[in-house]
Chain A
Amino acid sequence: MSTLSLPQTSYIRDNSRTFTDWLKSWLLTVDHKRIAILYLLAINFFFLLGGLAATLVRVELITPQGDLMSSDVYNRAFTLHGVIMVFFFLIPSIPAVLGNFLVPLMIGARDLAFPRLNLLSWYLYMIGGIFALIAAVFGGVDTGWTFYTPFSSTYSNSNVVMTITGAFIMGFSSILTGLNFIVTIHKMRAPGLTWFRLPLFIWANYATSIIQILATPVLGIALLLVVVERLWGVGIYDPALGGDPLLFQHLFWFYSHPAVYIMILPAMGVISELISTFSRKRIFGYEFIAFSSIAIAILGFLVWGHHMFVSSQSVYAGLVFSFITMLVAIPSAIKVFNWTATLYKGSISYRTPMLYALGFIGLFVIGGLTGIFLGVTAVDLHVTDTYFVVAHFHYVMVGGTIMAYLGGIHFWWPKMTGRMYNETWGGIAALIIFVGFNMTFFPQFILGYLGMPRRYHVYPPEFQILHVMSTAGASILAIGFIVPLIYLGISLRKGAIAGDNPWGATGLEWKTSSPPPTFNFDKTPIVTEEAYAYPPEAAERDAAAWRPGSPL
């Protein structure tokens, strides 16, 4: 299907005359692609904000004494970092930006099933974000992002209610996005696009959406009850009044453990796309990758107790949770093995998105394997609430989600903007981030194993060398995040025109123009083949055609 000659205008252009009209055309848009761009801007803003808070934390930890800030300010800094990064960056990042942009494109639909609901999601996200920001400006919160009772209910004097309201509202944004995706994927697939012809990114987002609609309301009610307890001085979680703080932990982790799969599953979807495209091969074990996403989503609901091994939870419950936690490793490993098998005898081109994908695999393997350490109750007792845990979840959540998020942004950048970014700088930034990331978080495994507890602003002097390494790594990481902002920004004006399919990738999103027209396709596409339908000899041909200096 040739789309070059078509007169439809791209979704970015409009013929508004005045600035107000232009602003309205963006802020009141129901186009999923424009909403994705709105999310992109908002989410990156929150990412920088969360990064700023992380900087404060890392700078304080350069010396063993608390010289930059008091323990109270330090508590507020790491809580701000956690709340912003978890609720306003990691959870919405890939589904809300890439998912919003790509789900309708990949399934050959004109838009999501409920475009206005989609816009509402963005507004809810923004309102939630504003609540969190106001709470931060007027003194911040000191409970940690987990809002554990009784810290958050009885003992904290900070803006808990305000922040919780922010997280609560953002939760509804997440629910509505998930609902929209589920309905869209069920009902709006193009003719011929059967479930097993769907790109794996769609499968991953489908699994994510199920978690979003099932788990998020439970967090909502748990947080709502904290607010009730604080405002009216009643004792739903207060042991002095008969309540049980553990109830909060159960309800909280019933959401927040699946929430880490909300972060990582869409990331895995992105990686499947990247690996296949840049190896010029069909994905290995398509069905296994697809079903492992669903398996992770289901098992993810049954492991929340592994966050509570040292609470007063029953030892037998702990054993069961430990066992099911091990089971999660199976579908995760299936994915990793399938990706590596896809690479085998592929014609691998080390373009920027591929660098991120390979980086993802490395970081995810380390993060995942240390997760097994933590799932073993005996080891967990030793490292609970230490930097080992901090390092583990940063490897999985940050190393996983951010690598995939950036990889995905680079991969679909030509589709979103119609322009190519600078490949040289792209590769350099990807390497800087990989090095900076490992330098930041690997020392934290050692710190944690040696007994450095998390959330402390002072520490014994013998830990200083590792903390200094970590802070140095964080500085490198920060540079790695700023460089893409610059060259991606420049590419908007000066980048080469990308064309419809600069990577020679399969997938419906590459069959429409770049940037796509408002209704995505001029004619509803009809799908006749599976996803990643690279012919068997594609990799060989690609390798034969390869020469130094060629773009691919």
Chain B
Amino acid sequence: MATITHEEAHTHTHGPELQHQFETPEQQKEAATLGMWAFLVTEIMLFGGIFMAYIAYRWAFPEAWEESAALLNTPLATVNTVVLLVSSLTVALAVNAAEEGKKRRLVTMLVLTIVLGLTFLVIKGYEYSEKFAHCAGAKDPISWITGSDLHESHECLVPGRGFHFPAEHGSASGGHGAAKTATMQSGHQLFFLLYFSATGLHAIHMIIGLGVMTTILVMAVRDRFSPTYFTPVEIGGLYWHLIDIIWVFLFPLFYLV
């Protein structure tokens, strides 16, 4: 039986991107794609824990949920949703450009995606800082920094010791007992805790996603891709879409309830 080492066996049949453990580029690509899908499943399970908590507590405190959601900045979040959905489009176009071997378009689309991703994070950061500014007694983040323009009512929606849900938004005014108020306060706090946990975890994923996109951009600029090899663009795109989809669920669950 003739013995050929595997290096000899397929040195000339593929590009340098084929790793030693694979037989063919197709096999490598299928493996990478399947691996990414499996990873996305774990991501969904990771967020699944938070969604489970959301279901349990929303069931326990339906009114608190309704009242709290009203205090989130829905217009900004709507803008953010649009931003993310457009970024999904640019990623899809980037994958298409890579498939067709159009480098310029690929690079443009990747840059656009990164810009949109950053926009999302900036808006999200503004939303967060608004909440923190209210805790500090300021009206908005800018007046928090400049120290002017106090907030009209005492409000602190950041969970923790200082949490204070403004009374005028609560239903506790209409003759409910004090115990009820305390529970309502808890319900509101849980809402904002879940809000910060879920969107915070999502933001962490955005930051990772931006890192992935930047890496792919560098690879694209360095001509690493060809119509026969663009797996990183494809699986990076899958990851980006997942981040978008999670936001598509978070947005109605927190802002539109």
Contact = CB atoms under 8 A, between A and B. Distances in A.
B5 A522 contact: yes
Main secondary structure, interface of A, reads helix
A253 to B, nearest CB: 12
Interface string A220-257: 11100100100011111000111110010011000000
Interface stretch (A1-9, A363-371, A529-537): A1-9
Interface string B17-29: 0011111000100
B191 to A, nearest CB: 10
B178 interface: no
B35 A218 contact: no
Nearest to A32: B21
Contact of B48 (A114, A218, A524): A218
A407 B194 CA distance: 47
Contact of A221 (B19, B47, B183, B186): B47
Contact of A2 (B1, B6, B20, B45): B1
B112 interface: no
A250 to B, nearest CB: 7
B45 A214 contact: yes
B13 interface: no
A interface bracket (residues with beta carbon within 8 Å of B): 35 or more
A176 to B, nearest CB: 9
Contacts of A519: 5-6, 20
Interface stretch (B36-44, B123-131, B149-157, B210-218): B36-44
A236 B56 CA distance: 11
Interface string B54-67: 00110011000000
B190 A235 contact: yes
Contact of A523 (B3, B42, B61, B185): B3
A215 interface: yes
A243 B190 contact: yes
Contacts of B197: 225, 228, 236
Given A114-B35, A218-B49, A234-B189, A244 B159 contact: no
B145 interface: no
Contact of B38 (A183, A218, A242): A183
Given A187-B34, A235-B189, A217 B23 contact: no
Interface in A72-112: 104, 109-112
Interface of A: 1-2, 6, 8, 104, 109-115, 175, 179-180, 182-184, 186-188, 213-218, 220-222, 225, 228, 232-236, 240-244, 247, 250-251, 519, 522-524
Given A214-B41, A233-B160, 10 more contacts: A109-B21, A115-B19, A175-B42, A184-B31, A218-B45, A218-B46, A228-B197, A232-B160, A240-B186, A251-B53
5 contacts: A183-B35, A187-B34, A218-B49, A233-B161, A522-B3
Closest 10 CB pairs of A and B: A242-B186, A221-B49, A217-B46, A111-B21, A217-B45, A234-B159, A187-B31, A113-B31, A183-B35, A110-B21
